Structure 1
């Protein structure tokens, strides 16, 4: 059994909230609520289970399954029966037939003088299937639950619905504090799998930091060993996790799925996505991209520069899903007939060029966490710059705001190759591209997997520098 890796900051937040509840026991409203959201399979339930194990407090863990209101209520009763709440027998003696009654009875069985934890997982299912659920939850919290020393954890995978739960025009507004759970970061992945920094970034691009996928990576195994093992196993987490997540969020034949596939295979502009998705209508594509961006599955980005631009580009936001759509989804038939070797060879052939672009968002996020560092100032916005013809592309643009900057703080290039250093030719190209965006002597930066062989840069970064940014958590 693997030991629990990472999530130190999140565990501290949960522990602090629990201690607030414990310290406030006996006051008028000692209860605390946390709204936890994160994409499916990112490890929300595992985090909560680890917190409960460490807290050693009476607890209830209920997971909604997307059934009818009656079915969900039955599942809640079963969860109470198997919980560690001391007065759980009351639910068997007085079976509630309505959700309002269930909330009232739950408040009665919670301890009065010792802290407890109540977890409701996949809350968006309840919001979607149960009439007036948010209003019932709000009344139960205000009048009953918050008066008990309880930490209420409301957990959900639909990011937009969980954000809406706490929005100003909804009943539960400002009742809970928000916690966003992302994937395991590159430093956590490196520690978990015994990988050097460069290899840890490769692992982050393939697994997306999803704990279930990382758990199948043998400690110390190389990227290619992991992929070989996963492709030989038709039920590996690498192969099945994406399809399960997409099936839960999008109907199998929804146009959003076709648009997502087009973006995942490398199309980035509106016109090219429409063509790759079968020549769909402008209005249909607009709605599909809106759904994908609202759910934060796709990122829609504009060039970052002093001049406004309409050259919007789209990319799959989750690294694992991006890898799966590019390399695995189109070739599931050959993998299922045990020809994963063909898929693996195809990945090897395309890996260098695919990784070179896929690493850029992760480099930008690493720099955002790392700066300021003595060489460069903190940059409120870090993005990229491109033109419609792609004759000018700048991997890294640091600025005071986005997408239209008042001040450029630095410009940079990412060269993420195995055996090729950032050299004077790369620097000359960066100088040329800087001249196309500004006349000012904006500092130049290079990020290289294999080192730097030239001078004239304000700052340089390699895998070791970038991964140190994630250790600050």
Structure 2
């Protein structure tokens, strides 16, 4: 098993909770590494680990009874309810922590009222860690004001996929190009990264378009589990992933009436599948974008060809992938490079900006010093910085913030440049790679 990548901050939070809390909730999308994190945390601790099944309370009670019977060498344990199970554990001096993995299944089966009483009355000397993957159930049933466990969770931690720079910890020696390609396909989800033996663009097609392994079908399984009317949500997500980002465009492609779309888009935003982006400092209407790279990749390169690939007819999918993957990576490069560049400049606000047909990839402003950074990205080699700078300067005149008094700095980011510029900061792929490695080292030192 690969050693645990990142998760330093999460482990620190769990260690601090262990010293002063009783109940912790660890949740996040499937395959993100919650179980691995919790198992790492309870290593060398006196803990009981129970994995819930997507079944009835009776089934899970029988399952847990058998596991505890074997674990403690007490033949014939048969608990009637979870309260009785926790009274048994509370009475054992050789247990400090109870972990219930995939607690969302027990929530779905109706166990929450019992767990309110367990936390309030029974749980005394033991600590309880709950994990969940069904985001809709966790956020509505466990974190809401009306939840039976409201106010009883001492730690609530949402686990995110690995960030781009963590790929250089997962794949030591990886190139920046390879990391961009693999991150663009997997979104840094640990379970998907396990299918890659090396971090190269060549491996993406082989892994992601393989119908026999998890990444090919996982997005479909996740969305169908989370959402009612999955077909309608798939239509909306596919439209957004394909570049139809405005409400009118989504309505036109999907056939869903404009006044009905906000409900569906609101659900997708709440669950973290899409986000709504407005131009920086502008109050005008914005655009919708798919939030996670894995879903963006899947919706663009797998979903339209799903049945064909599943039937062994991959020719159309492979042709489309080879023709369009590099263009798609341009969007990933903009996102990743933007996050890395922003680490190096002092700013108070940042974001994309557009007005009519004019768009600037990224603007960062520092309100304290009245300074604006105008940043453009080109996923190309041998870029002429002076040509790009001239284009950028013309666009910046339309950005109204402190137009007559601000200080301005121009930053151009590309794979490589023909030459340096005397009027703009140029950041090539080699410098971005260095920033990513520095970020990784700084995290290691911090934790």
* TM-score normalised by structure 2 residue count: 0.86
Q: Deviations over 1:254-273 (max 9, x none)?
A: 42222122222222111111
SS of equivalent to 1:420: coil
> Residue 356 in 1 paired to residue 330 in 2?
yes
- The corresponding residue for 2:276 is 300
Whole-Å separation in 2 of the counterparts to 1:70 and 1:201: 47
Q: Which residue of the other structure, out of 56, 59, 67, is the alignment partner of 1:71?
A: 59
- The corresponding residue for 1:206 is 185
> Residue 433 in 1 paired to residue 395 in 2?
yes
- TM superposition shift of 1:127: 2.6
- The corresponding residue for 1:6 is 6
Q: Which residue of the other structure, out of 218, 242, 256, is the alignment partner of 1:241?
A: 218
Whole-Å separation in 2 of the counterparts to 1:422 and 1:3: 43
Q: Which residue of the other structure, out of 350, 362, 382, is the alignment partner of 1:382?
A: 350
Q: Deviations over 1:331-366 (max 9, x none)?
A: 123323434354233222112322222333333433
- TM superposition shift of 1:224: 1.5
SS of equivalent to 1:443: strand
Residue ranges of structure 1 left out of the alignment (5+ in a row): 21-29
> Residue 326 in 1 paired to residue 295 in 2?
no
- The corresponding residue for 2:117 is 139
Q: Which residue of the other structure, out of 362, 376, 389, is the alignment partner of 1:413?
A: 376
SS of equivalent to 1:209: coil
**Change over 3 Å in CA distance of 1:356–1:219 after alignment to 2:** closer
**Change over 3 Å in CA distance of 1:320–1:335 after alignment to 2:** same
Q: Deviations over 1:120-172 (max 9, x none)?
A: 22233333330xx4443233223332x2143x221112335434524455342
Whole-Å separation in 2 of the counterparts to 1:429 and 1:443: 14
Contact kept, 8 Å, 1:38 with 1:182, in 2: the verdict is yes
Q: Deviations over 1:354-406 (max 9, x none)?
A: 222233333343345x2xx4xx2143x3321123x4x11111122469xxx99
SS of equivalent to 1:412: strand
Alignment of 1:98-109 (within 5 A): 98-109=81-92
**Change over 3 Å in CA distance of 1:80–1:269 after alignment to 2:** farther
Contact kept, 8 Å, 2:52 with 2:103, in 1: the verdict is yes
Whole-Å separation in 2 of the counterparts to 1:254 and 1:105: 45
Contact kept, 8 Å, 2:181 with 2:204, in 1: the verdict is no
Alignment of 1:263-342 (within 5 A): 263-277=240-254, 279-305=255-281, 307-310=282-285, 312-342=286-316
Q: Deviations over 1:293-329 (max 9, x none)?
A: 1111111111112x3212x211111101100110111
- TM superposition shift of 1:81: 3.7
Alignment length (residue pairs): 432
- TM superposition shift of 1:79: 4.1
Whole-Å separation in 2 of the counterparts to 1:338 and 1:163: 39
- The corresponding residue for 1:189 is 167
> For structure 1, which segment, 458-467 or 172-181, has the greater mean C-alpha deviation from structure 2 after superposition?
458-467
Contact kept, 8 Å, 2:101 with 2:132, in 1: the verdict is yes
- The corresponding residue for 1:45 is 35
User: Which aligned segments of 4 or more residues in structure 1 are displaced greater than 6 angstroms?
Assistant: 405-408
SS of equivalent to 1:283: coil
**Change over 3 Å in CA distance of 1:117–1:366 after alignment to 2:** farther
